[in-house]
Amino acid sequence: MQILKLGSDSITSFYDLLGNKENNMTFGLGFVLSKCSAFLKLVLDYLDFTDIDIEYCSIHLQHFDETDRGFSDIEIWYKGKRLLIIEAKKGWNLPSHSQLEKYNSRFTNAENYPSIAVLSECSNEYAMRNLDQKYLFISWQKLFSILKHSQGVSASTLEKNHLHEYSQYLSKVIKMDREHSNLVYVVSLSGEKVNGSESTYIEIVTKYHKYFFPYNSGGGWPAEAPNYIAFRYDGKLQSIHKVVKFEVNEKLSQSLPGIIKDNDSFLHMLLHLGVPIIPNKEIRTGGIFRNGRVWCMIDTLLTCDTIAEARDLSNSRIE
């Protein structure tokens, strides 16, 4: 078999040619929905559309409508009528209320109550707190599990191939791919007390094995949870941790009850930390400014003499 590469990346299916942006993921999903009836049926079942004959469905990508002058991500039509609109987001993002409301005007038939679903990487709990209850929700992780289940349900070899190839592609671009990343996010920790708490930022990590940072607020913070995170203070690297679990919450008192009493709204990502990896030698900061945050490959971080050196070597490898 001939090998195809795009730059240094191996291409195993045409889905890999799409890229990893939000639209690329959505276009791939629309294609596999149109080609795999077992998958389409299971997705609709999950969203409570249980009495649908798949043979009468059609899939529309980037559908333009004069009523709102906008383009929807995915529309599923049934017997010539709009059945469902899916608004897809990459990461722990949710569409705004106004963005979803504009689609209501597309459902002009009184028999069709506006059916709009949101597809995102966030948890069901987070979606329930932040989405109007009239909207449906499905996570990319749940969609991935339906993909895998569909491979066992489908009787068509061609469908199975489409499902396998798209699931491989999807696993590379959603959070499940983070398990294969050896990049470490290195942050500085303060010895000051956290607002509303008797604990310091250092103690939140060392005593309670948690860390939090602003979510979706800019400022250079990551939009997705890192696979590994490292902490530095007193001028040197202190520990590296596997991120075993993460969530997005709106109040620190919700994330760390009994530890932090601050009830002010503060959208943040909470990381649950694994057992610390302690460097076997002293690794100094090396000229990174006081609150600077950098990415390093884990092997460079454990073998270089400074964090700055590990950062530069990691960047060189990536380039």
Task: Give me the tens of pLDDT residue by residue for the chain, a chain 319 residues long.
Answer: 567 766 666 666 777 777 778 888 999 999 999 999 999 999 999 999 988 999 999 999 998 887 778 889 999 999 988 999 999 998 777 888 888 888 888 886 645 566 999 999 877 877 887 888 889 999 998 999 999 999 999 989 999 999 999 998 888 777 555 655 788 999 999 999 999 999 999 999 999 999 999 997 778 898 888 989 999 999 999 999 999 999 999 999 999 999 999 889 999 999 999 999 998 899 999 989 888 999 999 888 988 999 999 999 999 987 7
247 close to 270: Cβ distance less than 8 angstroms: yes
Are 141 and 68 within one domain? yes
Q: At what angle do helices 22-35 and 140-153 cross, to 10 degrees?
A: 30
Same domain, 167 and 185: no
Q: Do 168 and 259 fall into the same domain?
A: no
Of 118, 144, 177, which residue is a domain's last? 177
Dist. CA 255–CA 30, nearest whole Å: 36
Domain containing 266: what range? 181-318
Domain identity same for 18 and 148:
yes
* Same domain (yes/no): 149, 188: no
H, E, C per residue of 121-143: CCCHHHHHHHCCCCCEEEEHHHH
Q: Are residues 153 and 93 in the same domain?
A: yes
Whether residue 19 contacts residue 6, with contact meaning beta carbons closer than 8 Å, is answered with no
Domain finish residue from 154, 177, 200: 177
CATH of the domain at 160: 3.40.1350
**Residue 185 sits in the same domain as residue 168:** no
In a shared domain, residues 246 and 310: yes
Last residue of one domain, picked from the residues 160, 177, 194: 177
169 and 300 share one domain: no
> Is the overall model pTM greater than 0.75, yes or no?
no
Residues 163 and 192 in one domain: no
Q: Is the dihedral of CA 12, 316, 278, 191 positive or negative?
A: negative
> How many other C-beta atoms are found inside a 10 Å radius of the C-beta of residue 9?
10
Q: What is the domain count for the chain?
A: 2
Angle, nearest 10°, between helix axes 22-35 and 37-46?
110
Amino acid occupying residue 210: K
Same domain, 192 and 257: yes
